[in-house]
Amino acid sequence: MTGQAKAKKTAAKRSAPNKKTAQQANTAAQWGGLMGDGVDVATAVHEAVSQSIDVVSAETLAYSNRAIEQSVTAASALAEARSIGDVVDVQTRVVAQAWHEAFDYWTKLGESAAETAQKGFSAS
């Protein structure tokens, strides 16, 4: 086969339309649909997780600020205590308040996690 004949044969192969069987076309359509849904789901889950991280950050900052304020208030109250009974009362109030703050904080984080999971599952 001459070089010219070989070039014509190669050019003919390249210009021939790529024919797909019905099965190949169906498989491609199924995978294409799956990939499209996957991108949508991934985007929705990413948005839900981002929102949850924002909530966690805001709650953590607020909790930290309240804890600092409570510590300063407790230190002032302890400095003004006149007896052991006053010290015990101040410490009891501080511990009770800290427990309630921590409980509220962890409750809000749990709710945020539940909402994120709900959004993630509803996206799929």
pLDDT tens for each residue of 24-36: 666 656 655 555 5
Mean pLDDT, the chain, integer: 80
Give the pLDDT band (50/70/90) at residue 51.
confident
pLDDT score of 5:
67
Q: What is the mean pLDDT of residues 2-22?
A: 61
DSSP the chain: --HHHHHHHHHHHHHS-----HHHHHHHHHHHHHHHHHHHHHHHHHHHHHHHHHHHHHHHHHHHHHHHHHHHHHHHHHHH--SHHHHHHHHHHHHHHHHHHHHHHHHHHHHHHHHHHHHHHHH-
